[in-house]
Amino acid sequence: MTKADIVNEISEKTGIEKVAVQATVEAFMKSVKTSLTEGENVYLRGFGSFIVKKRAQKTGRNISKNTTIIIPEHFVPAFKPAKVFVDKVKKETSVK
């Protein structure tokens, strides 16, 4: 499912124009990105959490030059689904 599919589905179910739904979805995604870049996690009860994870420094290899490089510690965005969400997906997909 793409962003366009989500916009179409929300528009059909609510009767709101696609342009308004598109703007709302874009604003939501921008808000999540902004919060995560500022180090704030986003919690959506019953759905899940958008969190920032810290990756430790590690040694990597550049295979083409046969050298080792140090990858510094950094932060990455992650999504942790809520237990209800996980249970529903397990239940629904096991039937198909």
Largest CA distance in the chain: 58
What is this structure's pTM? Answer: 0.78
Q: pLDDT over 90 for what percent of the chain?
A: 85
| Secondary structure of residue 29 in the 3-state scheme | helix
Average pLDDT of the chain, as a whole number: 93
The Cα 52–Cα 34 span in angstroms is 12
Place of tokens 């703007």: 23
Model confidence at 96: pLDDT above 60: no
User: For 46-79, what is each residue's pLDDT tens digit?
Assistant: 999 999 999 999 999 988 898 999 999 999 999 9
